[in-house]
Structure 1
Amino acid sequence: MKLLLSLLTFSATVQAQILFCGSAPYYPADYTCYPGNILCPTLYGQPTLPCNGACYSPDMYACSNGQLQLLPTTSPASAPFKLQVYSSNPALNNLFAKVCGLGFNVGAGAQTCVYCFNAPPLYVCSTYQNQTVLLASGAMDVDVPGDQYWFIDPPTGRLRTTEAGKAGGYGREWAGKNVTIYQDGYFSFDGSSFWLACLDGTQSQVYNIYAPVGSAAGRTGCERVKLAAVSTTNPKEGAYAYT
């Protein structure tokens, strides 16, 4: 009898999760039903939108007069931006990437690690908000002399930064390369439709972000995620330098 009740409860739960879009059954966690009984899937935790019978991601396309158009890409002079993570894993979805240990990370345990040289009136450490902010040119939004840059490390696939203040340090030659940045849209690795978020082996609830190249291509136990550029106009939202 207990087994029968358990099966009936499970069946009722499953049925409650199924909705109908016209005559088509769907799970609301996986699809959205739009007017006209148009079903569009949820990808990486984000609903796609309908456009003349097709479904599209608003972080890569716009729908104009029933036609899909790619969003414009950024230029080196575009506004600074932060990286938002899209994932089917609720523990990662909509969080912002943070730099620590010269690498980009995400997760409830991730933090932004910074350094500041207080030298008023030119550099006043209390004015920095110390969020992880990038520039489309390949630089980080920092004030440290000698700058700091973001890049994909070819041997490992790790999305990381150069050391602060070392204009010619390791990774400078790859700064800003192999990535297409759509204006307030996807931060897209050119060799794949996704990035990898892999659990850090030394920190709880921290995932390291990789492009699926180099040694990262064969990594297991990672989440496939997408990254999106979110513009910011606050000149002090970044940091003096990241560590």
Structure 2
Amino acid sequence: MKSTVYPLTILAGLLASTKANPLPVPVDTSLKECGNQWYSPSSYTCRVGADSNALCPVVNGEAMEDCNGACYTPYRYNCSGTTLVENPRKTSGTFTLTASNPDQPFDGEPIQAAGMHFWVGGHAATYCPSNVGSICTSFPNDTTLIGNGYMSIYWQKDGSMAFTQAHSSQQYNLSYYGGGITYEGGGYFGPNGEDLITCPVTPEGSNTTAWKLFARLSGVGFPSSCVGLYVVVHDQNITAGAWQYT
């Protein structure tokens, strides 16, 4: 499922706004007024501007912006005057990723590589052979660095974001090969621009729950325990985060 830009005309219909003047007071006192309709602040925000009073949804804990009748996330788009345009895509350099969902305790946590998959928070699983000497200590080792062909990323059939073992091109349950769509100073999305989601799982050999990263691939369903999030791109000026990730 690709990330959606929400036309305000459709949102207005979905919200079943009332045309009464003045607006009747709702039974639910937590609702707020936006023009000629009531809305829940936990689900929508009222954008006041050229589009009058426009409701934009709250997605992944963050209110979407309004651009001349379309709601959008700045992680993917920007508003140029009254025109919605895609942010420039990142085509070079290395970067790290962090999770963003202000409603969740993992907000701001790094995206880490471990067990051939990617996780929200925790630590990177790395390896450096003893015979290479002190070079092992020159790496951050707990920083998952992406870009410049540094890591071979692919997406499994269940939507999992995965990577291949170093010096190997073998993928398991392959759906798409290659990393996600990356925006300069913006967000990181699935292989076709899909939104990302994280699900609580218990890794093999572990007794604790961890948040595994997935893309909302077409035809793939997720349990209600999963949580949507934005993944934020941070440019880095280092060329290697570890000897290899495992």
TM-score, normalised on structure 1?
0.71
Task: Return the alpha-carbon distance in structure 1 between the equivalents of residues 201 and 100 of structure 2.
Answer: 18
Offset of residue 203 of structure 1 = 4.6
Residues 1:204 and 1:62: Cα distance change in structure 2 (over 3 Å) = same
Offset of residue 57 of structure 1 = 0.9
Matches within 5 A, 1:58-73: 58-73=74-89
SS of 2:113's partner is strand
SS of 2:236's partner is coil
Confirm or deny: 8 A CA contact 1:84 1:97 kept in the other structure: yes
SS of 2:58's partner is strand
2:150 matches 1:139? yes
SS of 1:217's partner is coil
Pick the aligned partner of 1:97 from 101, 105, 111: 111
Percent sequence identity is 25
The code of the aligned residue for 1:47 comes to A
Q: Could you say which residue in structure 2 is the equivalent of 1:35?
A: 48
Task: Return the alpha-carbon distance in structure 2 between the equivalents of residues 230 and 159 of structure 1.
Answer: 16
Residues 1:129 and 1:195: Cα distance change in structure 2 (over 3 Å) = same
Deviations 1:207-235 (A, max 9, x none): 21223459x92453442524434132231
Offset of residue 49 of structure 1 = 0.9
Confirm or deny: 8 A CA contact 1:127 1:236 kept in the other structure: no
Q: Could you say which residue in structure 2 is the equivalent of 1:170?
A: 170
Matches within 5 A, 1:77-156: 78-87=92-101, 90-107=104-121, 110-117=122-129, 119=132, 123-128=135-140, 130-135=142-147, 137-140=148-151, 149-154=152-157, 156=158
Matches within 5 A, 1:186-205: 186-190=187-191, 193-201=194-202, 202-205=206-209
The code of the aligned residue for 2:182 comes to I
Confirm or deny: 8 A CA contact 1:84 1:95 kept in the other structure: yes
Q: Could you say which residue in structure 2 is the equivalent of 1:239?
A: 242
Task: Return the alpha-carbon distance in structure 1 between the equivalents of residues 163 and 139 of structure 2.
Answer: 22
Confirm or deny: 8 A CA contact 1:196 1:210 kept in the other structure: yes
The code of the aligned residue for 1:232 comes to D
The code of the aligned residue for 2:171 comes to G
Task: Return the alpha-carbon distance in structure 1 between the equivalents of residues 192 and 33 of structure 2.
Answer: 37
Q: Could you say which residue in structure 1 is the equivalent of 2:24?
A: none
Residues 1:211 and 1:193: Cα distance change in structure 2 (over 3 Å) = closer
Pick the aligned partner of 2:163 from 161, 164, 176: 161
Gaps of 5+ in 2: 1-27
Deviations 1:146-173 (A, max 9, x none): xxx222134x432112113x1x331399
The number of residues matched between the two structures is: 211
Q: Could you say which residue in structure 2 is the equivalent of 1:228?
A: 231
Pick the aligned partner of 2:215 from 187, 203, 211: 211
Residues 1:220 and 1:170: Cα distance change in structure 2 (over 3 Å) = same
Confirm or deny: 8 A CA contact 1:87 1:224 kept in the other structure: no
Q: Could you say which residue in structure 1 is the equivalent of 2:11?
A: none
Confirm or deny: 8 A CA contact 2:187 2:233 kept in the other structure: no
SS of 1:125's partner is helix
Residues 1:74 and 1:159: Cα distance change in structure 2 (over 3 Å) = same
Q: Could you say which residue in structure 2 is the equivalent of 1:26?
A: 39
Residues 1:65 and 1:203: Cα distance change in structure 2 (over 3 Å) = farther
Q: Could you say which residue in structure 2 is the equivalent of 1:52?
A: 68
Q: Root-mean-square deviation (CA), in Å?
A: 3.2
Confirm or deny: 8 A CA contact 1:51 1:67 kept in the other structure: yes
Q: Normalized per residue, which structure has more strand?
A: 2
Residues 1:79 and 1:55: Cα distance change in structure 2 (over 3 Å) = same
Gaps of 5+ in 1: 1-13, 141-148
